[in-house]
Each structure stands twice: as structure tokens, then as C-alpha cells.
Chain A
Amino acid sequence: MERGVGFHRYRRHAKSSSASTMVLPNDSNNNTTCNGDQQAPPPPPPPPCMVREQDQYMPIANVIRIMRRILPSHAKISDDAKETIQECVSEYISFITGEANERCQREQRKTVTAEDVLWAMGKLGFDDYIEPLTVYLNRYREAENERNTSHGDQLLFLKRGMEINHHGPIGMPPPYGSGYPMGHFSGMLDAAAAMGGGGYYRDLAGSGASSTAQNALASFDPFVQFK
């Protein structure tokens, strides 16, 4: 099936020096005019044999998963709709990034930041996204700060202790007692563990943890649930 190629993406291919942009099906080392060569004169339109490079798109399974959140369960999605939306996402990223990058250049900065991205979205009409994205970004930053400070490590560790531990006393301060709402937290911790919670324990073991944490370490094995 011949597929239309986005205008913008074609232009980027023409400028790009990356070897991965255009591939012929039978010979991946073939340096024909299909290659995006910066020195060559403007190349002819991409030949029908061009293979769709997957690494310039979001993985289609992820795209479909997000689509299914919106669609009713009986809805079906044609393959061309899936691919079209997949292409639209990449085009969206390029579109916003282009605007953000122009702003960086005007202000003589080299790095495109999260703020630049948010600004570009506002400028290009995606204002509705700004608030939820700002909330998301702030939560991410909070979580990073928690991870990066030793206080955060202890805090996380103590909370894990509450979650896993029924082996014995930890010596936790009163706020973490029985009145503390922990029900919904377990899911989060499991996910955090999957994400790399093991790293916290390595750090904690190596760092100068407080005596509270160390006593807790001695009394039970925090990994028992995760082995």
C-alpha cells in the first residue's frame, strides 16, 4: 500500500545527515539518491520502495493503547487510522519543538527546556494542555527531588517499611502510625519498586543513614516481597 509521506518529514529527510532515515528494502547499505545527502541537490520525491522507518514514530502499540482509552469498547480502528495518528504524533512533536527551538535561538540559548516546550504549546494553540502538563512536570520534579535527597531515601524507605513490614517494630515517628491512609499507596510503591526502587536500598545501605533506618534494616529484609 502506497502511503503518503508528511511534507514536513520529507523536508527533514532531505536535510538530515542521519543514515537511518531512508532505507531500501533489499539493500540497507545502498547509497543511492534515496539517501538524505546534505551536499546533493534537492532529491527527487521519495520512491515508492521506501520503507517506513519505525524509529521516527512512537511505538504503535503505545499509541493504540492510548486511543483505546477514548474509544468505546466496541469500536474498531483501521490500520491506516493507527498509522496516521502515529505519524501525526511525530509531526506534533516536530511542530512544537521547532517553535520552541526558534525561541531558544532568539534568546541565544542552546538547550530546549521544558518551559520552552510549554511556551510553544501555548503559542501554537494548545493552551488547554499547559495546565495538566505543568501539574505533571511539577509532580515529576518533586519526585526527582525526593529521590535525590537522603531525606527522601529515608522517607521512602520508612514508608516501604510500613507497607511490607509485619515483622517487628521499626521505631517510626507517630505520624506514620495506624491512622495514616496507606491503602492507595501500595500500588504506587509497587510501581516505584518496578521502576528501580532497588536503587534506593543500595544507596541507603551505602550512605550514612540515620540510626532509625539502620535499626530497621537490621530487623527485617525489605526485599522479601520483591524476590
Chain B
Amino acid sequence: HREPPPGTEAYIPQRFPDNRIVSSKYTFWNFVPKNLFEQFRRIANFYFLIIFLVQLIIDTPTSPVTSGLPLLFVITVTAIKQGYEDWLRHKADNAMNQCPVHFIQHGKLVRKQSRKLRVGDIVMVKEDETFPCDLIFLSSSRGDGTCFVTTASLDGESSHKTYYAVQDTKAFHNEQEIDALHATIECEQPQPDLYKFVGRINVYHDRNEPTARPLGSENLLLRGATLKNTEKIFGVAIYTGMETKMALNYQAKSQKRSAVEKSMNVFLIVYLCILISKALINTVLKYVWQSEPFRDEPWYNQKTEPERKRNLFLRAFTDFLAFMVLFNYIIPVSMYVTVEMQKFLGSYFLTWDEEMFDEDTGEGPLVNTSDLNEELGQIEYVFTDKTGTLTENNMEFVECCIEGHVYVPHVICNGQYIFKEELFFRALCLCHTVQVKDDDSVDGLKKNQLSRRSCIYISSSPDEVALVEGIQRYVLGYTYLRLKDNFMEILNRENNLEKFELLEVLSFDSVRRRMSVIVKSSTGDIFLFCKGADSSIFPRVKEGKIDQIRSRVERNAVEGLRTLCVAYKKLTAEEYSNAQKLLQNAKLALQDREKKLAEVYEKIERDFILLGATAVEDRLQEKAADTIEALQKAGIKVWVLTGDKMETAAATCYACKLFRRNTQILELTTKKIEEQSLHDVLFDLSKTVLRHNGSLTRDTFSGLSTDMQDYGLIIDGAALSLIMKPRQDGSSANYRELFLEICRNCSAVLCCRMAPLQKAQIVKLIKLSKEHPITLAIGDGANDVSMILEAHVGIIGKEGRQAARNSDYAIPKFKHLKKMLLVHGHFYYVRISELVQYFFYKNVCFIFPQFLYQFFCGFSQQTLYDTAYLTLYNISFTSLPILLYGLMEQHVSADTLKREPSLYRDVAKNALLRWRAFIYWTFLGVFDAVVFFFGAYFLFDNTVVTSNGQMFGNWTFGTLVFTVLVFTVTLKLALDTHYWTWINHFMIWGSLVFYIIFSLLWGGIIWPFLNYQRMYYVFMQMLSSGPAWLGIILLITVSLLPDVLKKVLCRQVFRGTARTPELKSLSFIPSHFTA
């Protein structure tokens, strides 16, 4: 069955991969080189490697250990982490590759390891087994050639989906029969889209012409999915190993980078420039200073012969490199590790939050990427889906309107139905893709028949379930039973079984916004039932009480109900066979199948007779209004993006307080554009908005925006596409700018009638606008995935099984967004920004004295501190307190943040990492460094600092500076800490104690394997000197003084109008809570 018979098209043997899945990155052999390569591709690691190599090659002031050891530590930790992850992947791969698979060889069932599977092999899969590769479904043990599959591991949807065997092969039920099958399959090259597949099977019966059958995604069983409710199936492998759709979907999503990371990189570059300029200044000064030979080479300090002979430029270059090495600690290795650990560990605080745990579903928040934690504190735009996100997505059938008469549940059931009504209910029972959940046994079906209410309907659309259930429950006449052998069985109100042959399903898509079925009744009449959005039905209706129904639909929409229109048409046998032919051709097409299908649908779905409309209510999620209000107070602009119609969506927006009563609504809809040109509408709107612009911005900052004039914009998909459409004359950019300008001045925007891709377009438009705001998209369905992927932070709410993997964060309910952004996001941001600033600060403090010392040691690159101190400063003496701060800090209590959403504005737009803050920290660092160095300098300058008259040397000098440094830097952090727990106390004081103990130990012994003993007893000698103690205390006090003063002054004087947002927030609270 693998080779085609002679005479078919030229067959080019193709190399197919075997069925091995390789998700691991490394093998045992290439782990070390490949992992190192990967790691050194990071700029920072590469920089440290270069520094390390320079230290190895040239004669540098510090030993290679000082940078080698931290680098080794970082690299090892990362390698262990990645190695462990890869080991897990290997294990998973092996388990998957070695699991046994039944497949058929020469008519017999053989058990083999999964990895030995090849394309073309026929595989047998039993119930509850997962498919070993992508299979074309040939036959199943179920007579109708269907099987049920759950794709929970692929897209997270746990419902059972029905797949269909190829018509011509579904009769083969055992190994021998299936082995006799002779067929070729043509299919597209492997593609990652799980829901698309186009192929063709040619089945050869003896010597006859082959029969060609189209293959679609309904015939393709995907690797990773599990067979359910079906005893066994046979399938032929078409994509194996790394070509399966599952494997193709493994590809990582594009990396999202946070604003903090970007700032951090900018600061790094600034520091790199500082570093280089420092090294350059020192090199130049060194050669100026050395120009007098007695300075370059005094009699007491001669150079070696090779040194003397070295070329001047080479010497200068070496000196430059040596200075670089000396000052390289200004860019700390450990910062990257700390930031990564902070993010990774910090994300657990989100998942552990009990308040965000949802009792109903038993789920808490999920963090899929910890890289973006701090972005949650920077959100400026929230794009939210309506259905299922703002609303419960728990539909309830409210009413239906047939021929202009309104029927409310419980009332409908009495009286006789006229023909149209009967047809309407039948239409609702037939025109859907609802499945009846059938629990293992055949008894289930019987039970259904006996007691109508026990059946469970499953559908991808909750509306359909609501409709079918509503009809069953309230109309008491029509119950959809099941689909059997292409016959839809319904019970009518006389409890008689009616059978309709299901001829075609013109399935739903978001462009058409409708679906149709073609059924043949037992009397032989062929009907086409269509159900869809009013906008897509009305234009296709040729008769019916359009006006009455339309007005009803519009009324319902205003009340926030979801409406659907139902229409039908009767087909003659001829019309049907035409339609069938067209459909068959389109389905068989290998290329552009969708496009062709759409054309055919367009031809078939016309000239309807309107039956009526339905209304379904979708309740708001709990606290949705409260959440939206809080987000708006926090200065976040909330946009609702929905596929719903304008009136429904607007009603929801009012209900959830996105629009308030005093909100002036601006409309940018197709209707308006029809009246005026797009150009005029846009300019009018912008004029309206900008008139109040001045007062608006001022009020926004006062934090009390409730009583100002605010605007809400409503735009629909068609208008949006007009705005987005690129024009030849280039004026589209103009429209876009204008549109953005309007949006910027609106507190709330509602985009209705949006296609999924348009949602992503909107997000992209805002994201790339000139302020580069940080966006968050929240949605629960597959149609929100594109927008979630596009936004900076994606969140998936309740029903997000399908795309939960695509989101960065998942929360159970919309109301949790409030805490996630206002509390966790705020904290994450404050923590990481302090962490980054503090890291730079402490390294300026660390290295700047070193720089100053060069002026006093003849620019000879002499280090101020001992090697051990240079190495351990960032690794151990000052690392843990800041990490803990990064995890635990709560500058304001969580409750306060929740109560006062306006505090969120304080950190908006990366406020704590602006240049102002950065320069403040840097200058603080420089100031402290100057205090340390010159304090020690004046203390030591040509005088005695011991009470026994003995003198201290350069190492004592350095140790004194270092001691002051460690204490100052740690105490500075203690001053910044607002949330103290015993761990904070332990870490901060523990670090200082550790430093002292280490120094005592380091200087306490003649270390046997070191070739220098310069630190021997230096620390003890220093501590035995009174002036050194006094000096240390004095210098610590002086270095901390300005920061303390600044904090107190800001709090006292600039109360309310604080320059520094962090402090504003501190001062802001009392005014609210002492009142």
C-alpha cells in the first residue's frame, strides 16, 4: 500500500523521518560545548568571558579567579538548571519513543516501539491510548466510522471531538482486511496548524480507476490526542516524528521582553561607556604622569627587560585592558542571576495567592513565563474580550421571536403552534453542531429517550447549548436526541421520533458569522436552515417579517442579550444536487480550499425566508464592574474587543461601568461613515475630544477623574479596517494617527464586530504607537489567542483551555485581574526596579574608590581591595539581602494598593527607572564612594591610627574602605526596606555578620596554598584600632545621611506633589487613611 501502482503521476520517493520525537536540546556528548555556546551568546556572559580571557592573557591587577569564579558559578548554575530541564525532556522523549505501538505487518498485528514507526504504516490504536503519530483515520470499531477523541494534551480542550473515517475504508474491520487496502495519499507538507489539513486519498479497487476522496482535518488523528469511547481504530501514519503537528507546535513563542529589561540594558550600556571612559582616562593620565622617567621607573621599582622592550602602543593597549579588568565589576555578573532568580521565585507569590484561587473551578493563577512579572505593574492598556471574560459565558435562553411574536419560556408551551413556529423550533434543533455526550454505554442513549433532561449537550459554542437546552426545557416539544448514521433524531412535542437526514453542514466561520445545515425530512423535503448574526442573515432574506424581527433583535441587543436570527429555505432536489456538487468540488480542492468553500457557501446561502430570532442572556462575571472601575482609576485604559454586535456590547459596557452615565459616547461605525466620509468623521471626533484635552490631562493626574468629562469611543470592525487599510496616496498613516489621537483621549473604547485577527491588529496598532505603551490582552477563547500573543502580557481567563499555553499568565476569573495588576504587578515592578538600581548603585560604590585610588598609586592598576573581597562582594556579601528584597518588599501594604487603585499611576511609564532616578542612584553611589575613599584617605594621611604607634599598610586601607562599603550598602537597603519579616532581619544582619566572620577567618590563618599572605591579620589589626572604628562609624553615617535626608524631606515637604513617585505613594496614603 505504500507504492502507487504504475501509471499514476510520477512518484518521487521522499525521505520521511522516523517517529522519534526529539524535544531535548542536548545529547550527553554535546551538552557541554552546546550549552556553553548557548550561554555565551548572551551579551553579558560573553562580556565576562572576554574579561576573564583578558585576565588570563595579559598581566592584570586582579587574578583571573576574581572574574572566573563568579562566571563559573553563574554558568554552572544555569547549566545545571538547563541540564536538568533537558534531562526531564529526554526522559519524556524516551518514554514516548519507546511506548509500544500495534501495527499491521502482512496482515498480522505486531507490537513495536513507537520510534520504529514509518510513514505509510497502518497502526491500530485502542481506547484510551494516545495516537503515536498523525494518522489518517481509516476505520473504527464503531459501525458508523466515527471515533471520539480528546485533544486535551494538544490544545487543552477536554471535550470529545468526533472524527470521521474515510468513507471507502471504514468497512475494513480487521487486520487482514486492512492489509489488503491499496491506496495512495496525497497531502500537504507538514504544517503546524492543528485545525487545518488538506489531502486526498486514492483508493484502488483491483484494476479499476481509483476513487479519490478528500481528506480534511476531520480525518486526521493528531499525535498526542487520546482515543475515547471507541474500542479501536485503524489509521495510516502520514506525519511522523518531528513532522507531526504536535512536534511542529513545540516551537517556542517569540520572546517578549519587559520594559525593565530594556531599561536595564540601556543602563548597562551607559555603564559600559562609563567603564570604557574610566579606563581611557586612567590610561591617558598614566602616560602623562609617566612621561617623566623617574616616575615611570624609579630606581626602587625597575621594570623587567621584556616589559621595557615592549612597543609603546601595545603597552598602552595592555594598560587599557588592565584598567578595564580593574573596573569591570561595575557591571556585575551576579545581577543577571539575581534578576532571574527574583523573577522565577517571585512568580510563585502569584500562584500562591489564595485570594486569586477560584473555589468553583479549583484553579489558581498560572504563570507561564516569569519574564514579564514586572510588566504587570506597567500596564497602560487592557484589551479584554467580552464573552466569557467580562461575562460568565454561561448562556441562558431568554426568549425567541417568531414571526414578530415574542415567546418567553414557560409561556410558549401552551397553545397550538402554527407551521412557522414548528419550523422554527425544528430549525433550532437541527441547525447546530451540538453533540450529545454519550457515556460509554449504549444505555445512555436509552436513558435519553426515557428521561429527556438527563442528557448533556456539548458544543464549542455555549449559545448553541443554551438554545438546544432551552428548546428542550421550556418549549417541551422538541428535543434533540442524537446524530446517528447521518440522521438527526429529534423528539417532537408529541414525543414522536422525527428523523432528518443530515445532508450537509455549512459550518460556522467568523467571516460569514452564520452556519447552515441541509437536511432531508422523512417526507423527502429538503430544507436548508441557517442561523447567524442578524447582519449576516438579513441581507440574505427575501421574505418574512423582517422589520418586526429586526426591531425586536435591536431591542434585545440594547438590553445586552445575545441575539441570533434563524432563517430557512426549501430546496428542490435539483438545487440540492447542484449545491452538493459545488460543495464536493470545493472540498476536494487541494489548494485554496477555504476560499472556494466560502464562495460556494455564499452561493448556497441566499434567498432565505426569515423565521425569527432568539435571545440568550450572558450574565456579567462577578465584580467585573468593580474591576473595570479600579483599572480605570489606576490610569489603565480598558478596551473591550468583541465580535458581538454594537448594541449588545455597549449594553455590557454600561453594565460593567466601562461607560458611565456621564460618558460622552463617540461613535465611529459603519453607519456613521456611510453618512459622512471617514475623513470628516475622524476630524469631527478629534475636534470634540481635543477641545477638552487640556482639562482632561490635568484632571487625570489629580487622580479624581470621576466627575470630569470623559469620552467613550465605539468603533466597529468595518470602520477599523477602513482606518487600517493602507492607501495609495499614503494618507492612511494620517488616519491612523488621528484615530490613535482620539483613542488616547478616550477613557474607554469599545470595538465591536471584530474578527480575531482585527483584535490582534488593534493591539499591535496601540503597541507600536509612538509612546510604546505596555498592553495586556485578556481573553478566554481561541479567538483571543492572536491578540494575546500580540500583547505584551497575555492573560487567559476561564475558558481558556485551548490557548492557555499561549498566554503568559492565566487567571481563573476576570476579577482577579485587579489584584494581579494593582497589587502583584505593582509589587513586582517596585521590587525589580529597586533591585536593578540598587545593583548598579552598590557596584558604583564598590568600584569608584578603586578608580580614585589610581590617582594615588601612579595609575598602576593597583587594586584597593583584596582578591577575596573583589570576588565575594557581589556573590555573597551583598547578594542575598537584595534578592530577598526583590522577593518580599511591600512598600505599601497589599490592602492599600487594592483599595487605592490610583497608586498604580505612581509607577506608570517605568517611573522608577527613568533617567532621573537612575542619575540619582548613580550620584548617590559616586557620593558614597567619594566619602568612603576620601574619608579613609584623610584618616590615613600621614598619620598614625593605632594606639601602639605601629603603621597600617595599603591592605588595611582597602579593608577599611571595604568594610564601610559593605555596611553602607547593606544598611542603605535596610533603610529602603518597608516590609520587614524575620527573614529580612536574618538576611541583612546575617550578611554583615557573615562578612565579619569571613574577614576574621580570611585574615586569621596563613593560607597554605596561596602565594601571598597580604591579608594576614589585617582585619583584626584594623578592629583593634580605635580611630578605625570611629572612622567606620563616621563614614557610614555620612554616606547614609543624604539618602535619609532626601527621603524625610520628600515625605515632609513635597507631600502630595512628590517628585519621586515611590515617595509620593508613601506620602499619599495618610491623607486617605488618617482622615
- A joins B in a complex: no
Q: Which residues of B contact A (CB under 8 A)?
A: none
